[in-house]
Amino acid sequence: MTENEIKLKAIAALTALRSGVGTDYVSDLLGEVVPEHFVVSAAAGPREVGLSVLGQLSQPLSALITGFVLAFQAVADAYDETVPATPTEEILQALALELARESD
């Protein structure tokens, strides 16, 4: 799967969630970007196995995150163009504060 296809999966997952599609569907959609099999040397020790799996996961996960960021940026830009009472940055700051309070 190409990086662009993975970004499209992220956008499709967000769209599906906002449309009320079940979380199982979204999980399956996102699961499609994770490799089904990993190539690891038979002689590899635990450290090498971990590094190999991490290396094979990093590209699709990075593309997935990039897709989420691109989607958020597009929505945030469109929202901010409406000259809202609360700008995107303030919404994000409030969310961060709420999460920080929940972490305590």
Query: What would the mean pLDDT of 26-43 be, rounded to a whole number?
Result: 91
CA atoms within 13 A on the CB side of 63: 17
Q: What is the DSSP letter of 39?
A: -
Count up the domains in the chain and report the number.
1
Mean pLDDT, residues 58-65 taken together: 94
pLDDT beyond 90 at 45: yes
Q: How many helices (H) and strands (E) does the chain have?
A: 4, 0
75 pLDDT higher than 90 = yes
- Burial group, residue 9, by CB count within 10 angstroms (0-12, 13-18, 19+): buried
- Domain range for 40 is 3-103
pLDDT level of residue 53 (50, 70, 90 thresholds)? very high
**Furthest C-alpha separation in the chain:** 60
104 or 88, which is more confident? 88
